[in-house]
Amino acid sequence: MKKIMVAAMAVVICLALAACGKENVITGYKSGDVKLGQYKGLTYTLEDSEVTDGEVLNRALTELSREKVLKPVEGRTIAQNGDVVDVDYVGRIDGEDFARGTGTKSDLVIGAEGNTFFEGFDKALVGKEIGQFTIELTFPDPYYLYPSLAGKNASFEVNLKAINQYVQPELNDEWVEMHTKGAQKTLLEYKSALAEQIKAEKDAANKSEKNYQVIKAVFANSGISKDLSKEITEYKEQLINVQNSMAESYGMTGDKYFAYKYGLNTAYFEQYMEAQAKINIQFNFICSAIAEEEKLTASDEEIETFATAVRANYGCDTNQALYEFINKQFEVDGKEYIAENVKLNKAKDLIFNSAVQQ
């Protein structure tokens, strides 16, 4: 759960936070709402992000194991358990053809768990040689897959055309070029690319871990006197609405999408959203106090640059259109709102950039 909580600490300013009177137009902070402790020079510890040859090899072998190739069995013409066979078949009950009883099956895995082909058909092929032969089956009763066939005797004329097996390819230049679609042509190039990928993953994980530790320390060193429960609840609902909107494109509900994305039970959905809302609201609130304490400012150039970077997210083509949108949506001065965003980001940069790794 800790790794997911890190995601809740992303340094992002949301244009959907509430505004209120003469308070900070984004967070609602006013002087005296926060008792600040240490927020500069905070310490954190991280794991080594160096990539070992063993890690690279393990990643390569994992990728290799996902791409087994179907190849003909050599030196054997008799089917056995685990083979992948190619068969033509004609099935009859009491001498009469029956529905779905005739066809071709080119990927029947003998003995595969959960096989949805005619029950017992694959096992009856064990010990049979490539060529034509007849097998006799009695379908189970009850037969949930094909209820109309329950308990009936069937005769199948079979033409076993090929016996294959899934084989793991060799980790070599040929496989690398195929697997990467030519992006890398040699195993050496592929391992180098994997090393860069693993390093980037470790660096990203370490950045999240740093944020987690530093923000946790900021919370521990600060005291908030204002009750933010209303703001937290409202932001939680916004986050849930965002998840629901994203989930719709997958034909899912927000909690199911959350479970799919993070591999966690849907019961954690509400808990996670509330924790994320609480962290974001409280951290932004404390950063407002830091911006005031440090007398941080936002120049016209910084305001315009920030507005240009985010305006498309709100369907605005110009900065002025964004300011007007904010004014209409939140009933606050749009340019002042963006200025406060800039100052909050500066406060966060101050916290994170001054932190010291132990």
Do the beta carbons of residue 166 and residue 66 sit within 8 Å? Answer: no
Report which of residues 262 and 214 the model is more confident about: 214
- Say whether pLDDT at 19 is over 70: no
Q: How far apart are CA 205 and CA 275, in angstroms?
A: 20
Token pair for 141: 């009763």
In eight-state DSSP terms, residue 171 is S
Q: How far apart are CA 140 and CA 137, in angstroms?
A: 9
DSSP string, 153-170: EEEEEEEEEEEEEEEPPP
Report which of residues 259 and 211 the model is more confident about: 211
Indicate the helix (H) or strand (E) that contains 270. Answer: helix 268-293
Token pair for 236: 């939680």
Across residues 76-89, what is the average pLDDT?
96
Q: What is the pLDDT of residue 300?
A: 97
Across residues 194-198, what is the average pLDDT?
97
DSSP string, 133-152: EEEEEE--SS-SSSGGGTT-
Give me the residue label for tokens 């980001």: 345
End-to-end CA distance of the chain: 24
pLDDT tens-digit profile of 36-51? Answer: 999 999 999 999 999 9
Q: What is the pLDDT of residue 10?
A: 39
Q: What is the pLDDT of residue 23?
A: 84
Across residues 209-229, what is the average pLDDT?
97
Q: What is the pTM of this model?
A: 0.70
**% residues pLDDT > 70 (the chain):** 94
pLDDT tens-digit profile of 235-256? Answer: 999 999 998 998 888 888 888 8
Q: What is the pLDDT of residue 289?
A: 97
Q: How far apart are CA 86 and CA 88, in angstroms?
A: 7
- Say whether pLDDT at 9 is over 60: no
Identify the structural domains of the chain with CATH numbers, from first to last: 2-39+222-357 (1.10.3120), 70-167 (3.10.50.40)
Indicate the helix (H) or strand (E) that contains 65. Answer: helix 53-65
Count Cβ neighbours within 10 Å for each residue of 5-38 and write b for 16 or more, e otherwise. bbebbebebebebbbeeebbbbbbbbeebbeeee
Count Cβ neighbours within 10 Å for each residue of 94-109 and write b for 16 or more, e otherwise. eeeeeeebeeeeeebb
pLDDT tens-digit profile of 262-305? Answer: 777 888 888 999 999 999 999 999 999 999 999 999 999 999 99
pLDDT tens-digit profile of 150-195? Answer: 999 999 999 999 999 998 899 999 999 999 999 999 999 999 999 9
**% residues pLDDT > 90 (the chain):** 78
Q: How far apart are CA 129 and CA 234, in angstroms?
A: 70
Q: How confident is the model at residue 67 (pLDDT cuts 50, 70, 90)?
A: confident
Q: What is the mean pLDDT of the chain?
A: 91
Do the beta carbons of residue 32 and residue 223 sit within 8 Å? Answer: no
When mean pLDDT is compared across 66-70, 75-79, 86-90, the lowest value belongs to 66-70
β-strand pairing of 153-167 with 84-93: antiparallel
Q: How confident is the model at residue 234 (pLDDT cuts 50, 70, 90)?
A: very high
Q: How confident is the model at residue 22 (pLDDT cuts 50, 70, 90)?
A: low
Across residues 201-208, what is the average pLDDT?
96
Q: How far apart are CA 352 and CA 38, in angstroms?
A: 13
Do the beta carbons of residue 181 and residue 34 sit within 8 Å? Answer: no
